[in-house]
């Protein structure tokens, strides 16, 4: 799989995190029973826990309690498994094929999920749920393709031009 990290870096700026220790990923993947897609790991390892365009939150599994991918996923799985919330997604949340793993959120009320492939030869896909409505959208693209489209100003449910009129930017989460 070819990732879009060079194109993302050209738009978002140089990453400052550049994580190389696989231990937090191994622990999280063992806990969840999945292996995250390489492009997602590569982007999160490069940038760490960040806020993109003052809107999109990405977290790393080595982050501290407030900004830990593992803690965020655990809490979000509990939230989205609630009967009242599950009806707003196209599939159940979890770690089985076809299920959704929550991996990012936005200040504007969206939740970003990775859809686990039905079989190993299929690609992971992105689902964005608009928290303030029952609407969700499946994007037939990898996470890196989706993030690149977002940074380029393409409407992928999140609207970066509203938050980054002078171009994409990122800030580390405190």
147 Cβ contact partners less than 8 Å away, ≥ 6 residues apart: 4, 8, 43
CB distance 24 to 167 below 8 Å: no
Q: What pairing do the DSSP bridges indicate for beta strands 50-52 and 125-130?
A: unpaired
Alpha helices, DSSP H, located in the chain = 5-12, 23-32, 38-47, 69-81, 83-86, 143-151, 160-163
Residue 1 has pLDDT above 60, yes or no: no
Show the tokens assigned to 42.
Answer: 């590569």
Contact of 1 with 43, CB cutoff 8 Å: no
Q: What is the dihedral of CA 66, 93, 106, 131, to 10 degrees?
A: -120
Q: Residue 91: which pLDDT band, with cuts at 50, 70 and 90?
A: very high
pLDDT digits (tens, 9 = 90+) for 111-156: 999 999 999 889 999 999 997 778 899 999 999 999 999 999 998 9
The domain spans of the chain are: 5-158
Question: Which CATH architecture does the domain made up of 5-158 adopt?
Answer: 3-Layer(aba) Sandwich (3.40)
- Residue 132: HSE in the Cβ half-sphere, 13 Å Cα cutoff: 5
Selected residue with higher pLDDT from 37 and 84: 37
Bridge partners (DSSP) of residue 138 are 127
User: Left if phi > 0, otherwise alpha if psi is -120 to 50, otherwise beta: which for 16?
Assistant: alpha
Other Cβ atoms closer than 10 A to 161: 13
pLDDT above 80 for 64: no
Residues 165-174: pLDDT tens digits?
Answer: 889 999 999 8
CA atoms of 27 and 165, how far apart (whole Å): 39
């Amino acid at each position: 799989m070819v990732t879009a990290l060079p194109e993302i870096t050209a738009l978002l700026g140089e990453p400052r995190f550049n994580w190389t220790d696989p231990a937090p990923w191994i622990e999280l993947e063992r806990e969840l029973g999945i292996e995250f897609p390489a492009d997602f790991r590569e982007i999160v390892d490069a940038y760490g826990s960040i806020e993109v365009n003052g809107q999109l939150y990405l977290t790393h599994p080595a982050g501290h309690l407030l900004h830990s991918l593992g803690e965020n996923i655990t809490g979000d799985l509990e939230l989205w498994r609630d009967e009242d919330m599950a009806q707003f997604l196209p599939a159940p949340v979890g770690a089985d094929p076809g299920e959704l793993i929550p991996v990012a959120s936005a200040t504007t009320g969206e939740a970003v999920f990775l859809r686990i492939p039905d079989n190993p030869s299929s690609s992971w896909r992105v689902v964005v749920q608009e928290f303030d409505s029952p609407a969700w959208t499946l994007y037939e693209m990898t996470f890196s393709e989706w993030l690149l489209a977002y940074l380029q100003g393409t409407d992928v449910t999140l609207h970066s031009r509203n938050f980054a009129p002078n171009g994409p930017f990122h800030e580390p989460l405190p």
